[in-house]
Amino acid sequence: MTPVEFNEWFADYCRSFPETADWANGLPDKEGTLTKWRVIFAAKRIDLVFGKRVTAEMLAGDLPAVAAYEREKTPAVVVAGGRELRRREGGDRYRSESDIAATTKRSTAKYVRPEGAISAWQMAEQYRLMRSQGTSKAECDRWLDAEDRKAYPQ
């Protein structure tokens, strides 16, 4: 999300939840805080259109809104709402190994993988998807270690 898009989203969010504007104006470093929010949104793939959809769903009561006394948790609540919205729409669902294996491989490596092993790119892609679904880092790391042992046997 660009700074201009973030400002548009934040204005829309403040129109939906007016007490947020008062809260933000009282911050000692408003710009610094909002910049951190924008960086979080960009990292979690919350763009302008999707951010406005999450806000609308929160306003309608379809997603949990930020409690008035917890405005500092706004980015976490918006990201969680976005994750829930994606889950409902099936956008970040878990992909099976056969789905991953069917994906175009981006590798120039000369190493030939043993049967059933996936490429490093496919491992990274699946890891990212599992993390975006809320799978714990420890569980993702265990999965990655197992796949790594398959792809690069000792």
Q: What is the pLDDT of residues 30-49, one digit of tens each?
A: 999 999 999 988 888 888 88
Count of other CB atoms within 10 angstroms of residue 31: 9
Q: Any idea which residue has 């999707």 for tokens? A: 50
Q: How many Å apart are CA 5 and CA 25, to the nearest integer?
A: 19
User: Cβ(77)–Cβ(114) under 8 Å?
Assistant: no
Closest to 81 in 3D by CA, of 9, 154, 19, 5: 9
Looking at every residue in the chain, the average pLDDT score rounds to 80
Question: Measured in Å, how far apart are the chain's first and last C-alpha atoms?
Answer: 43
DSSP H stretches of helix in the chain: 3-16, 19-25, 30-43, 48-60, 74-89, 97-102, 120-132, 137-151
* Buried-exposed string 64-83: b where 16+ CB fall within 10 A, e elsewhere: ebbeeeebeebbebbbbbbb
Is the pTM higher than 0.85? Answer: no
Q: What is the pLDDT of residues 45-99, one digit of tens each?
A: 888 888 899 999 988 988 888 888 888 888 888 988 888 888 777 655 555 566 6
* Size of the chain, expressed as the number of residues it contains: 154
Closest to 66 in 3D by CA, of 17, 32, 12, 30: 17
User: Cβ(151)–Cβ(119) under 8 Å?
Assistant: yes
Q: What is the pLDDT of residues 103-122, one digit of tens each?
A: 665 555 555 556 666 677 77
